[in-house]
Amino acid sequence: MIETGKKLANYLIKEKIGVGGMGSIYSAIDTMLNRQVALKVIHPELLSNRHLIEKFKTEARMHAQLNHPNIVTVFSFEIIDKDYIIILEYVDGKSLKALLQETYPMKMADIFQYFKQILRGLNYAHSQNIIHRDIKPGNILVTKLGQVKLSDFGIAKILGTWEPSMSGFVMGTPCYSSPELLSGKAIDSRTDIYSVGITFYEMLAGVPPFCADEYTDEEIQQKQIHETPPPPSKRNPQIIKELDEFILRTLKKRPEDRYQSAMEMLGELDKYERIKTNE
């Protein structure tokens, strides 16, 4: 059992800082190296599920391949006292979700700064043949100095190894998931392009296009698959026409109609950033 104030091998547990579907996150001090780290510990009740254990190991291996300033670094994977643990870089900051809740509407300069970093991290992951599959504000961390880091590659897959989910079972978060992912079709890096477009939409408009408390997950899925989102300027009149067009292209239902890469999006975004906005 993980307890704050106690040591787990050479890790001194400070506090629990998060909980996810697969495990809990703790901040800790690596007493061997005298540095702060984050520990992702698989939930004890999942330890009997061999499939999930292998999934947890796969996450650690895939994430450890990524070395980029806009992606949280994995230091190691360890089994300590029967606990399965991924040791991660500790990010001193907040999630983009928390920042949006605290500071919406954000300054346009900050939105561009954060979003460009998201795209750089995503472009690097794709260059390593890894798709994230769960891009959303809650999985994007922002340090106190404004550096953005993609986190939680728990359901990421290496391109070429993904298979459609079983009918009725969807990986990811419906509010941010692409139509092809929700339909159980084969996916590629363009599914992340859709999710990052939803994220940018929320940064500008304050809410994702198809997400509301009165909708069930099934209703949200159907909207993602079939409905055209309203332009974000409908919710925030400060948004210029060019950004409406940029975002709506990322949210096309057919992957071939979207931007084809994060790098292509970066090139377009540079043009729009130079356009004077009504901030």
Catalytic residue IDs: 134
Of 237, 235, 233, 227, which Cα lies nearest the Cα of 246?
A: 233
Of 177, 180, 117, which Cα lies nearest the Cα of 149?
A: 117
Instruction: State how far the Cα of 215 lies from the Cα of 194, in Å rounded to an integer.
Output: 20
DSSP 28-54: EEETTTTEEEEEEEE-GGGTT-HHHHH
Q: CA torsion angle for 33, 34, 39, 44 (degrees, to 10)? A: 90
CB neighbour burial string for 39-63, b if at least 16 within 10 angstroms, e if fewer: bbbbbeebeeeeebeebbebbbebb
CA distances from 153 to 99, 135, 144, 252 (A): 21, 9, 22, 24
Pairing of strands 157-158, 74-80: unpaired
Q: CA torsion angle for 156, 158, 159, 161 (degrees, to 10)? A: -100
